[in-house]
Each structure stands twice: as C-alpha cells, then as structure tokens.
C-alpha cells in the first residue's frame, strides 16, 4: 500500500543518551520507520537490519502485508518502504535490546497521546457530521411535507395518511365533544394526564374495528405480540434515581411514536397505530396545536416521519427523536 506523509504525523525521537535522533511517522495507530531510520535507531549496519527483517518475515513472527507500507517522502523519486512498530521492535530485540525497550516505552506513550487526540477530533467531526445529517433529514421531512397526496404512491403510505386524516380526526372530535370544548393551543411542559395502556388499547381496538369493517385491514392488524405494547406505554412514565427518563410531553410523544414503529409490538399496522396514538397523546396533554390553531405536525409530515422512522437504522434512534422533537417546537 502507498500513502503520503503529513507534517503533523511526524515526531522526532531521541533516546536518553542522545545516541539516536530519528523521524518517526504515525499512521493507522502505529509508528513507521524506514530501514535507514531503524539503522540509526539501533546503531547497526543497514545490511544487518535487512537480514533481520527478512528473517522476521520468513519465520512468520510478523505478517508482512499489514506491517509494511510504501510512503512518499521529500527528496525521493520513488516511494520508500516503511515498517511498523512490531517490526522495529522485533529488529531491536535481535540487535540492541536496551534501545528497543526504550523506544517501545516512548512509542507506546506517544501513540496513546495521538490516539486520544485522534478520538477527540473524530468525535468532533462525528458530531458535526451528525448535525449536518440531522439538518438534511429535517429538510427531507419538510420536503415530503410539501408533497400532495398523489405523491404518496405506495398503498402503505396512502393507507397511513387515511388513518391520520380520517380516523385520528374522528377521535379528536369525539374527545373534544366529551370535554365540552376545544383544546388550548399550547400546553404544560409536563404531562398533565397519564396515557394508560387501557386507554391506548381502547383506541387501537376501535381503529381496528373500523378498518376491518371497511376492509382496510386484515385479521393480523393490531394483533399484539406478547406484552410489548403494554411495556411501551408503561415505559413512558419510568424514572431512574427519582428522575423521569422522558420528562416532557414532547419526549414522551416522540418515544411513543418511535418505539411502536421500531419495536413492532403488533403483527401488522405498527406505523398506522403509532401515528394515531401519537396524535391522541399530544391531544390528551393539550400539546397538539400551535397558537394559530394548526397542528404542529400535519398529516403529510406525520406520514413522512412514520416512513422515515421505519426505514431508519436503529443506531440513528437519537437522530429520529431529535427530528420529532424539533417538529413539535
């Protein structure tokens, strides 16, 4: 393999008695020296180093493929062959054990510093990348939000939109009628009313009956798999060390929506059920509408979110939750 050298990857090594001063290159979490540098490091003839390296490979002590690479350096027309720390130390044990041990101690310390700095830098880059990705996903959701119903060609998407547009709205109207009034546009920071398993189950069963009657769902629709659904609902109120894991209405709603889609507590219909319960939960806690009276997340956006969450990598759970939370602001 060939690569170029960067200045920030070069460190000057000097032993305690200043008997050797060589440039050490860092790459792929190890150090690299060429034959001339190994010769200077251990104070031996170059032919001796060549012989030992050949024997190291012959005896299978170190694998050549992953421990040798060609690099481009200044004042050299051709790539120069470099050897990893494992090879350097193997040569040291055969020629100058004292210098070999001293170099190993130094290299281990410097490598640790480089790795720590590299991890820190990579974390910053990762955070920036995830931030950009979050923004990009947000743009995707907004783009899908602008799409008209005819753009939602898959039957699944259209069926999902039907549930959100029709059955969820029916539930909202009935609940508002029972409470004798419309909802306040903005609600408290925390849930004012617990969303119980019994209430959620009642809503799901009503949805199932309606869809089956209209031949929009099969026998497996809303069929619970074990007690997963009950666990998701009860988990919204769980706490650790006296602190709620999902303290706000938005956090509870986002996790309710996400877990029902990703954990598949039902044999069929998870996205439709998640969308319905998401709306009902926000409505119950007076957090569904903006001050203008419009829904914080409209029908098309909710369809886009459901499909986005369903197709997302589980590793991106936090990203999905953040998107939902941002849309609820």
- The string of DSSP codes covering 74-116 is TT-SSPEEEEEHHHHHHHHHHH-HHHHHHHHHHHHHHHHHHHH
- 3-state class of 288 per DSSP? coil
Give the CATH number for residue 161. Answer: 1.10.3290
pTM, to two decimals: 0.50
Among 241, 287, 233, 237, smallest CA distance to 260 is for 233
Estimate the crossing angle of helix 168-178 against helix 270-284, to 10 degrees.
30
Identify whether residues 93 and 167 lie together within a single domain.
no
User: Does any domain span residue 141?
Assistant: no
Identify whether residues 84 and 220 lie together within a single domain.
no
What's the domain count of the chain? 2
Identify whether residues 180 and 245 lie together within a single domain.
yes
For residue 43, the Cα-to-chain-centroid distance in whole angstroms is 50
Identify whether residues 309 and 173 lie together within a single domain.
yes
Burial of 84 (0-12, 13-18, 19+ CB in 10 A): buried
For residues 276 and 286, give the distance between their C-alpha atoms in angstroms, rounded to a whole number. 15
Q: Which residues contact 282 (CB under 8 A, 6 or more apart)?
A: 249, 253, 288, 296, 328
Identify whether residues 171 and 111 lie together within a single domain.
no
Identify whether residues 155 and 36 lie together within a single domain.
no
Domain C-terminal end among 120, 155, 182: 120
User: Does any domain span residue 142?
Assistant: no
User: Does any domain span residue 237?
Assistant: yes
Inter-residue contact 278 to 285 (CB < 8 Å)? no
Q: Report the pLDDT value the prediction gives residue 181, as an integer from 0 to 100.
A: 42
Identify whether residues 112 and 174 lie together within a single domain.
no
Structure tokens at 319: 């990203």
Q: Which residues contact 308 (CB under 8 A, 6 or more apart)?
A: 137, 140, 141, 144, 320, 323
User: DSSP code of 153?
Assistant: -
Q: Report the pLDDT value the prediction gives residue 64, as an integer from 0 to 100.
A: 87
For residues 308 and 318, give the distance between their C-alpha atoms in angstroms, rounded to a whole number. 13
Tens of each residue's pLDDT in the chain, 329 residues: 445 545 446 667 666 666 566 777 777 667 888 988 888 888 888 999 999 999 988 888 888 888 898 887 776 678 888 998 888 888 888 887 677 777 777 776 776 665 555 544 555 555 565 556 556 555 555 555 554 444 444 555 555 555 555 555 544 544 444 444 433 333 345 555 788 999 999 999 999 998 888 888 888 999 999 999 999 999 998 888 888 888 889 999 999 999 999 999 999 999 999 999 999 999 999 898 888 888 888 877 787 788 888 878 888 888 788 878 877 87
Identify whether residues 208 and 116 lie together within a single domain.
no
Identify whether residues 171 and 281 lie together within a single domain.
yes
Q: Report the pLDDT value the prediction gives residue 180, as an integer from 0 to 100.
A: 46
Q: Number of H helices and number of E strands within the chain? A: 13, 8
Domain C-terminal end among 69, 103, 120: 120
Identify whether residues 182 and 255 lie together within a single domain.
yes
Q: How many residues does the chain have?
A: 329
Q: Which residues contact 227 (CB under 8 A, 6 or more apart)?
A: none
User: Does any domain span residue 175?
Assistant: yes
Identify whether residues 74 and 222 lie together within a single domain.
no
For residues 10 and 298, give the distance between their C-alpha atoms in angstroms, rounded to a whole number. 56
Q: Report the pLDDT value the prediction gives residue 310, as an integer from 0 to 100.
A: 85
Identify whether residues 163 and 84 lie together within a single domain.
no
Q: Which domain holds residue 195?
A: 147-327
User: Does any domain span residue 212?
Assistant: yes
């Amino acid at each position: 393999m060939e690569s170029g050298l960067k200045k920030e990857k070069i460190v000057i090594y000097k032993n305690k008695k200043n008997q050797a001063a060589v440039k050490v290159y860092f790459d792929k979490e190890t150090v690299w020296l060429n034959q001339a540098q190994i010769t200077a490091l251990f104070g031996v003839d170059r032919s001796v180093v060549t012989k030992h390296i050949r024997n190291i490979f012959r005896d299978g002590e170190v694998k050549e493929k992953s421990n040798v690479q060609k690099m481009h350096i200044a004042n050299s027309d051709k790539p120069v062959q470099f050897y990893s720390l494992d090879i350097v130390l193997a040569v040291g044990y055969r020629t100058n054990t004292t210098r070999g041990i001293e170099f190993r101690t130094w290299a281990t310390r410097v490598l640790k510093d480089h790795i720590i700095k590299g991890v820190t830098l990579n974390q910053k880059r990762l955070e920036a990348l995830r931030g950009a990705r979050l923004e990009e996903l947000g743009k995707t959701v907004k783009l899908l939000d602008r799409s008209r119903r005819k753009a939602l060609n898959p039957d699944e998407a259209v069926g999902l939109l039907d549930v959100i547009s029709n059955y969820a709205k029916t539930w909202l109207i009935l609940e508002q009628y029972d409470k004798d009034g419309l909802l306040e546009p903005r609600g408290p920071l925390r849930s004012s009313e617990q969303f119980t398993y019994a209430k959620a189950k009642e809503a799901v069963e009503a949805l199932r009956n309606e869809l089956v009657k209209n031949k929009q769902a099969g026998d497996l629709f809303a069929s619970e798999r074990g007690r997963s659904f009950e666990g998701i609902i009860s988990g919204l109120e769980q706490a650790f060390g006296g602190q709620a894991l999902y303290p706000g209405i938005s956090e509870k709603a986002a996790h309710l929506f996400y877990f029902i889609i990703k954990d598949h507590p039902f044999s069929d219909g998870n996205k439709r059920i998640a969308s319905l319960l998401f709306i009902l939960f926000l409505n119950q806690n007076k957090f569904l509408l903006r001050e203008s009276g419009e829904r914080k997340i409209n029908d098309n956006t909710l369809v886009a979110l459901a499909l986005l969450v369903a197709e997302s990598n589980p590793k991106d759970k936090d990203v999905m939750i953040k998107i939902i939370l941002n849309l609820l602001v």
